[in-house]
């Protein structure tokens, strides 16, 4: 039976690079992969799934929080890969769960665990509740060699916990931080 997977990590932990490597491996075996991306993530182009290492491909399906997934779109698919899964609605995660079970297709979701305030994203929360397997894509803290756990946001060069929970950006705005370094920036 196929599973629903959640692979989470901080900003800069190579989640999208991992997704693209998995897509490449399936393609090398002449297997069909369906890549899903939330439409709101337009940092590298509306349809582009791009890693910071420079690898990229187009998403096959863009979703919105209210999207309804048509099971027919998944016929002949060997694996579904979801980028930026933290931005999914709980309902979309429920739909992915059903597709995984009903159509026996493995679905691997990649995303952040928490926002820059250390609060769970709704998509991540639902994935923690429903995923068959959960694993961390690890990276080190930008400031020391400890394991990064949090996403430290910067505004005007200073750490902040202000602003909307969804505030798109990359290295110019967010850095991976361990618990000690994250807390130390606010003490």
Active-site hit among 84, 136, 162, 172: 84
| Cα 61 from Cα 82, distance rounded (Å) | 9
Nearest to 175 by CA among 145, 146, 140: 140
Question: Cα separations (Å) of 140 from 89, 160, 179?
Answer: 29, 20, 11
> On the CB side of 80, how many CA atoms lie within 13 Å of its CA?
31
Nearest to 9 by CA among 150, 181, 152, 123: 150
Beta strands per DSSP E along 55-141: 56-58, 61-63, 79-82, 107-111, 133-136
172 is catalytic: no
Q: Which residues are the active-site residues?
A: 84
């Amino acid at each position: 039976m196929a599973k629903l997977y959640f692979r989470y990590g901080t900003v800069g932990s190579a989640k999208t690079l991992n997704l693209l490597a998995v897509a490449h491996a399936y393609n090398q075996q002449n297997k069909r992969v369906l890549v899903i991306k939330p439409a709101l993530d337009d940092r590298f182009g509306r349809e582009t799934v791009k890693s910071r290492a420079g690898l990229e491909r187009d998403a096959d399906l863009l979703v919105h929080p209210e999207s309804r997934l048509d099971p027919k779109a998944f016929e002949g698919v060997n694996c579904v890969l979801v980028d930026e899964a933290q931005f999914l609605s709980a309902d979309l995660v429920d739909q992915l769960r059903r597709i995984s079970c009903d159509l026996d297709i493995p679905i691997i979701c990649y995303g952040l665990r928490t926002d820059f305030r250390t609060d769970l994203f709704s998509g991540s929360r639902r994935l923690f509740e429903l995923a068959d397997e959960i694993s961390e894509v690890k990276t080190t803290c930008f400031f020391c060699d400890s394991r990064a756990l949090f996403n430290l946001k910067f505004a005007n060069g200073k750490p902040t916990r202000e602003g909307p929970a969804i505030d798109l950006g990359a290295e110019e705005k967010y850095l991976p931080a361990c618990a000690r370094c994250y807390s130390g920036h606010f003490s």
